[in-house]
């Protein structure tokens, strides 16, 4: 019996993360799902993923917390004994969205902690384990995928902290790709555009208007499944010579037009 590859998906019980988890389960991965909610609040989502045939292990952990990150990796080691794919997906929008003239340090620190500092240091710990696995087995395959946003390059002055966090994720992708190249561990970035999730639920009207006015070439909302399908293709190893690359899932939103 072939041992399945294992993926760790942060923020994997709803929104984009759930779309990614569904796609990876269908791609024959077993899964570690990380989230901040109690187990009782995620049982339905976990059961749905399991229905695709995956062994799903849920770990409650806040990626912005050093102790929680260590626990997440340790729990993955104990349950599966291996890790092939890290999906840094967990992220938040600022609460509330505020003009950068009025933004607070508290909001900035919270957003940066979860969206940038957390995934950077989770990658550090996961990468060390991946290197260990590579050295133990020449046939080992591992990869890292960072989920950022078009906000890495598109300015929104009412959520500057979010934009800065995603721009940081973009640079972190390049840094980790460069550092892990000698171990043949590719690192990719996926940049979603306007995706229909609970994060965008409070600004549906704004985005409906933007889409109707041609903000994206493909005039529709993106879905978590759109993102999941791209991540699954990376998980299948279909882009072996593309480390450091950015994969846009934005319906052409960032295509410059005149």
Dist CA 37 CA 223 (whole Å): 22
Chain length of the chain: 258
Do β-strands 143-147 and 187-192 pair in parallel, antiparallel, or remain unpaired? parallel
- 3-class state of residue 62 by DSSP: coil
The HSE-up count of residue 73 (CA atoms within 13 Å, CB side) is 20
Query: Is residue 70 classed exposed, middle or buried when 0-12, 13-18 and 19+ CB atoms within 10 A define those classes?
Result: middle
> Does the active-site annotation cover 162?
yes
Provide the H-helix boundaries in 183-241. Answer: 204-212, 224-235
Q: How far is CA 123 from CA 78, 120, 158, in A?
A: 18, 5, 29
Residue 196 CB burial class (10 angstroms; 0-12, 13-18, ≥19): middle
Q: Within 10 Å of residue 113's Cβ, how many Cβ atoms?
A: 16
**Active-site residue identified among 29, 58, 140, 162:** 162
78: phi then psi, degrees, rounded to nearest 5: -65, -40
Distance from C-alpha of 61 to C-alpha of 78, rounded to nearest angstrom: 16
Residues with a known catalytic role: 162
């Amino acid at each position: 019996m072939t041992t399945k590859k294992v993926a760790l998906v942060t923020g994997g019980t709803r929104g984009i993360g759930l779309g990614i988890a569904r796609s990876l389960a269908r791609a024959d991965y077993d899964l570690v799902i990380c989230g901040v909610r109690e187990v009782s609040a995620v049982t339905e989502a976990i059961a749905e993923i399991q229905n695709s045939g995956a062994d799903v292990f849920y770990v409650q952990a806040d990626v912005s917390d050093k102790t929680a990150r260590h626990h997440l990796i340790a729990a993955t080691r104990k349950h599966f004994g291996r890790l092939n794919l890290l999906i840094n997906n967990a992220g938040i929008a600022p609460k509330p969205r505020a003009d950068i003239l009025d933004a607070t340090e508290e909001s900035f620190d919270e957003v940066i902690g979860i969206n940038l500092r957390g995934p950077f240091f989770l990658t550090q710990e996961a990468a060390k384990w991946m290197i260990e696995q590579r050295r133990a087995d020449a046939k080992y395959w591992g990869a890292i995928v960072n989920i950022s946003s078009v906000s890495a390059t598109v300015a929104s002055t009412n959520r500057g902290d979010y934009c800065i966090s995603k721009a940081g994720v973009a640079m972190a992708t390049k840094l980790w790709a460069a550092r892990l190249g000698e171990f043949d561990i590719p690192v990719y970035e996926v940049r979603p555009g306007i995706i229909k999730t609970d994060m965008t639920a409070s600004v549906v009207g704004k985005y409906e208007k933007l889409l109707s006015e041609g903000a994206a070439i493909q005039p529709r909302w993106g879905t978590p499944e759109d993102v999941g399908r791209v991540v699954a293709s990376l998980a299948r190893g279909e882009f072996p010579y593309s480390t450091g690359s950015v994969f846009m899932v934005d319906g052409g939103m960032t295509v410059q037009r005149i």
